[in-house]
Chain A
């Protein structure tokens, strides 16, 4: 199809502004971070010294960096998997758990599941501070106290703290994916579902052989979103963890270390190097996921 005369100019004029804004506020800072990663900038001088790849050499022998990377690895495995399984389960129940209509009041449940998504991260932080409070004043420990169990240091035990933080991230994310999957399931044509039911397909089989394949695109997107979320975690860790990333660095994540190196230690150059590493990690993940999960699309 040929564009009408003047059409190209018309389209470009509409696209120019968003592209300029994107370049200024996204591309330019990225480029700047790449440059800063090669300097020893401390945030004050106008002309930082160029130090080549020294920041990266230090970075690769920095145990805190590797600890944070390990935590991202755990997050990357656990967060999408657990979130997707729970969200799929809820969405399936809401939509076709009971007949094709879903359970009674499914719309209400959908709204309730979505609540955490509406809350600001700071609110969630404060909420879980009360949940996880390490003495009997905490919600969880208060309940345990009723059955005579000593308070548990949810966030003060180095082996437990990260898992408790992952639980918060999952709790926060599930609602969004329930709604996303529910919408995806609702758009699956009735004929296919009815045909399967007529053929005597069980609910479990229906889920694995009809719903899941038809939801593949949505799942793929969800996986990438959650994977990218697994490279963040800054706010929750910053608000909830002991000593910001503790105890003993057992909950630290890269964005937190970037923040600390830049704004507490004034090592902006080094922080930028960490930022570049994080950028490479997330980009690699996104590309790999999209590649590996590529499948033939089912048109309906």
Chain B
């Protein structure tokens, strides 16, 4: 910790005067990464063949570290590790589950004794950006360029759009993002069937449908203003992208001049503000996401904007009769650039291979098996989540919500709306956007004002030399 403190003459001299400097700095200075400059070893290699394109040494041991959280670790011990064992019977696999990735892995990174594959997840996740900039991660390009198992073409060809890109740090694919999250409007299929409501494809239909739901005594639309107003600005961004394509979102991330005041964003904000004005109960501004989501489970709410983790998050509160369904956001105009079926989807949950792994080829091969249809299908069976592998979950007995996500993805095809990176890049901007989203949706400012205010903040951040700027091209 103390290595992170700045040089501070006044503090130094004060402490020195007291003879306490050593006491204060000594035991705390054990920092995250040691100065182990051992060059990345290439590990043992075997003969490259059609079945072994990465040249794995058949007898080299493999160590796999899995974050054992909501997904469990059965997908590794019962699916991926047996696959590896079957292909390389001579190899011994060491499986290590942990709930504290950072606490168990950082000391090992410091000493250079690292495993071959890590599921870097959970609340104690290691900072991938820091690992990459310290040269601790293996470039996964060979994995994505290797031939896919049991399919034709390369591994990267069998993945859903945006998967490889989601794992790029400073220009190189260091992360293998495995789970695919789909965003949209969630509702109770059973409730909708009972009332013969069908999700709308245009904002006009949406308006009419929400009117019907309201007439039935429900709150037709809700999001949690107290702590999750970003769920709502996602919808505004998604709608803007539907109108004018992904470039709008890329421009937002690049803090481009005038993007928030541009016509697609203004149209999207206007469409959603209208929904807010007519159908959003003012009490939702003061409720948390848990409270609103539970109210939906109790049959009080029509649509709720969120991502595909929702069903799993609400498992405890959801009655058996409740069946999560997902619909894409409605279209604004008939000349929208993206079709109604377009959904925002993004790859998440990073798996990494340390640059100094003892068996990096084995690690890459293990990931290649994870990304095979068989491996991905097994993962979906064990965890109920869909992976980045195209069509791997088709035909599986999935939960209603997961099936809805999978169907939405299949319908969307290549019309995938990109994720906004400003959420991680420019927190100050993001905080302002949250506040303005509430103000817009609960009718305190006009769409015009919303666009102007948000653009003003974007301009301020762009002109703030103290903020490190990022850039994306796709």
Contact = CB atoms under 8 A, between A and B. Distances in A.
B459 to A, nearest CB: 15
A158 B435 CA distance: 12
A155 B286 CA distance: 7
Given A24-B24, A35-B11, A135 B444 contact: no
B287 interface: yes
- Which secondary structure dominates chain B's binding surface? helix
22 contacts: A24-B15, A28-B14, A31-B14, A32-B5, A35-B8, A35-B10, A47-B7, A134-B287, A135-B281, A135-B283, A151-B283, A154-B286, A158-B444, A242-B225, A242-B285, A242-B286, A243-B434, A243-B435, A247-B225, A247-B442, A265-B431, A266-B427
B22 interface: no
A264 interface: yes
Interface residues on A, range: 35 or more
Interface in B410-461: 427-428, 431, 434-435, 438-439, 442, 444
A28 B11 contact: yes
B20 interface: yes
A190 to B, nearest CB: 51
Interface of A: 20, 23-24, 27-28, 31-32, 34-36, 39-48, 132-135, 151, 153-156, 158, 242-243, 246-249, 260, 264-267, 269-270
Contact of B15 (A28, A158, A243): A28
Contacts of B320: none
Given A41-B6, A247-B438, A260-B431, 13 more contacts: A24-B15, A32-B5, A46-B4, A47-B7, A133-B287, A134-B286, A151-B283, A155-B286, A247-B225, A264-B427, A264-B431, A265-B428, A267-B428
A153 B443 CA distance: 14
Interface string B352-381: 000000000000000000000000000000
What are the 10 closest A-B residue pairs judged by CB atoms, nearest first?
A134-B286, A134-B283, A135-B283, A156-B285, A156-B286, A48-B6, A265-B428, A32-B11, A31-B10, A242-B226
A236 B66 CA distance: 39
Residue of A23, A151, A153, A267 with most partner-chain B CB within 10 A: A153
A7 to B, nearest CB: 24
A114 to B, nearest CB: 30
B396 interface: no
B302 to A, nearest CB: 16
Nearest to B430: A264
A125 to B, nearest CB: 12
A57 to B, nearest CB: 12
A134 B282 contact: yes
Contact of A248 (B14, B282, B427, B439): B439
A28 B281 CA distance: 50
Nearest to A44: B4
Nearest to A161: B286
